[in-house]
Amino acid sequence: MKVRILKIALPVAFAVSASYAPVHLVRTVTASDVIDRVLFYADVPARFSDVVTNFKMLPERMNPTRSECN
């Protein structure tokens, strides 16, 4: 009888613990998240400007001066 309980309880315990983590790790998407993403990516000129600025600053990041290293 005890062996049968263990044979049932162990898989149930494993299934519960295995499903608990993925359920809590998956982030739920709310309407405010969607609106924030749409507004962020809808402003194409600002995003393009950010890309250009980051691209122009790339040589400075790759070759810092001594004052930036200290």
Q: pLDDT band at 45, cuts 50/70/90?
A: confident
User: Residue 70, SS3?
Assistant: coil
pLDDT at 19: 78
Domains contained in the chain, number: 1
Quote the pLDDT of residue 36: 86
- The one-letter amino acid code at 13 reads A
Average pLDDT for residues 60-69, to the nearest whole number? 60
> Whole domain around residue 54: which residue ranges?
2-69
Question: For residue 48, which phi and psi values (nearest 5 degrees)?
Answer: -65, -40
Q: Which two tokens stand for residue 42?
A: 């809808």
What is residue 29's DSSP assignment? P
Q: Dig out the tokens for 68 from the structure.
A: 């930036």
pLDDT of residue 27: 64
Contact 3, 9 (CB under 8 A): no
